[in-house]
Amino acid sequence: MILNMREINIMKYSSPKISYKQSQILLLYAWLLIILLWSITTAQIKDMQFKHLTIDDGLSSSWVRCIIQDKYGFMWFGTEAGLNCYDGNSVHVYKNNLRDKCSIVNNYVMSILEDSRGDLWIGTRQGLDLYDRKNNRFIRYPDLAQATVTSIAEDKDKNLWVGTYFELCYINLRNDNINFYSTDSIWGNNQHNSGVTALLIDSRENVWIGSSYGLHLYSKDENSFVNYLHNEDDPNSLCNNTIRSIFEDKDGRLWIGTRQGLDLFTNAHERPQKGIFIHHQNNIHDNKSISQGTIMSLIQDDKHNLLIGIENGGLDMLNLAAYKEGVNSFVHFKHDPDRNTSLSNNSIYSLFQDKQGNIWIGTFGNGIHSESYK
């Protein structure tokens, strides 16, 4: 029988009948459980192999900013040189054609969302497109012409939240109304170059906004924003104000990817005015600490691992089952010139797990990696 830490603590401290010897046995079980969880995680290093999809296979660019799988099973990759659709055998590339108003508005694709209706929304450096599958064409959203669309999310009312370099937009798809929230109205400061960099609508329908000026929470009831910033005098504040990724795991925990590490927002469910963050940052003296670099992408796989895409830092993995038991150890996957099945590039910009359980990894300089467990 394997006991979790909570059961052990209850037995150890609430039952006066347990002897000293018995308590030591229980503690031994606890340590064995932790070692087992850690060994399961580290064993996966030997089992992970990466296959590569590059420009030689038809990919339009080696820099892959975003990845999704649509309801039909096709993989879509957003690159700096076009939108790519992959059917498992070949890649079809969509690019702008100045003579065709039904082509994609811009080749630099920064975000992709398939909404609950199955429609594909494409965020580019010069606007937002809706892909019309039936007619194989793109419909441009006029109110966001020329906007750099960095992120797209859908709420429970089937409406869109769109982040751009200069504002946050709320699009009511039933009547096509759009509300704009300027960056000044969100964080109350004239902060240049601090547009929306990440968006997440969590399981409680909270709207979280990442920027280069902190983390922000939209309050629908008050139509206002709560801001969370780094404070050098507060060790529990955000570790860094540059946010590049926001993710909610299957246990409802909120993870924040920053330029200086990964933060866990411990009291996010309370919608607090003051957040409490646990920092996971690189320590050059600890090879189990998170790798150095900006946290660009976060997903949870079906093996209870948090996968972390890091700019110039490779792919890190944190076993969330072990993390709950107090094991705070990151496993690292990096380019190995002696292994052709290793990562071919250490700058990871996008992550996605498909319906078959495969992990897709978008890099800065070597296209797509797909990962499978032996």
pLDDT digits (tens, 9 = 90+) for 294-319: 999 999 999 999 999 999 999 999 99
Report the C-alpha gap between 142 and 120 in whole angstroms: 16
The answer to whether residue 22 is domain-embedded is no
Judged by average pLDDT, the poorest of 20-24, 263-267, 339-343 is: 20-24
Q: Helix (H, G, I), strand (E, B), or coil: what is residue 306?
A: strand
The pLDDT of residue 220 is: 82
Does residue 112 belong to any structural domain of this protein?
Answer: yes
Task: Indicate which CATH number applies to the domain containing 76.
Answer: 2.130.10.10
Mean of the per-residue pLDDT values of the chain: 88
| Full residue range of the structural domain in which residue 201 is found | 48-373
Residue 125 falls within a domain, yes or no?
A: yes
Number of domains in the chain: 1
pLDDT tens, position by position, 314-344? 999 999 999 988 888 999 999 998 888 889 8
Domain assignment present for residue 35? The answer is no
Triad 157, 163, 168: Cα angle to 5°: 75
Whether 14 maps to a domain, the answer reads no
Output the pLDDT for position 183. 81
| 222 inside domain | yes
Q: Does the predicted model carry a pTM greater than 0.75? A: yes
Flag whether pLDDT at 11 surpasses 60: no
Q: Is the pLDDT of residue 47 over 60?
A: no
Q: In this structure, is residue 264 part of a structural domain?
A: yes
pLDDT above 80 for 182 = yes
pLDDT score recorded for residue 37? 53
CA 33/CA 40 separation, integer angstroms: 11
Average pLDDT over residues 119-145: 96
User: Which tens digit of pLDDT belongs to each residue from 67-111?
Assistant: 999 999 999 999 999 999 999 999 999 999 999 999 999 999 999
Q: Does any domain span residue 122?
A: yes
Coil vs helix vs strand at 185: helix
Q: Is the separation of the CB atoms in 138 and 104 below 8 Å?
A: yes
Looking at the predicted structure, is the pLDDT value of residue 15 above 80?
no
Q: Which residue has the tokens 């018995």?
A: 22
**Highest mean pLDDT: which of 10-19, 36-45, 260-269, 363-372?**
260-269
Let me know: does 306 contact 300? Beta carbons within 8 Å: yes
**Pairing verdict, β 120-124 and 109-114:** antiparallel
